[in-house]
Copies of this chain bind each other. A is one copy, B any other.
């Protein structure tokens, strides 16, 4: 209950103003608890922040891997689903998501967090790579470097959510996502639409 209020307030403020510009007093006020109460639940500002990032990262990762592991659906539907779910998740958890996109320099300094986020990103990337590798191996897509394919897709996915979170862009429509996948599938120089 109280934990919930605190985490939500903290996520909101940290993502909007960054680690150093968010004061414990602000969090307490927004969570409608006393300053001291924060320390009943989290040993320090650091710990609160780390908790937040870790919880968020884990959820995000689960979500993505869930989509990647779906069986019996074409690669294109899978990619479509990943983008859609990421967009939905990020849209609904803007403040959490912000923390995960590495926009907070505090993360860089705290090697524990840095490692954590690095690994999370790496794992997601590896999972994507595997999917592409399998598609190459089973000749579902053109032969080529699965890592490059993964990097392209990862880049697009990141850009799509970043632009929402960072620059306040609109949530891309299902249609738009479909176009992205379509383009990725047949290339810019495709002849037929």
Contact = CB atoms under 8 A, between A and B. Distances in A.
A16 B148 CA distance: 28
Give this chain's copy count: 4
Interface string A7-22: 0000000001111110
Contact of A19 (B105, B186, B190): B105
A73 interface: no
B21 A142 contact: no
Contacts of A154: 159
A118 B169 CA distance: 11
Query: What is the interface of chain A mostly: helix, strand, loop, or mixed?
Result: helix
A188 B109 contact: no
A105 B102 contact: no
Interface string A84-128: 000000000000000000111110110000000010010000000
Contacts of A142: 186-191, 193
A145 interface: yes
Interface of A: 16-21, 102-106, 108-109, 118, 121, 135, 141-145, 148-149, 151-152, 154-160, 162-163, 166-167, 176, 179-180, 183-191, 193
- 9 nearest interchain CB pairs? A18-B105, A155-B159, A187-B187, A20-B20, A186-B187, A155-B156, A141-B188, A155-B155, A142-B190
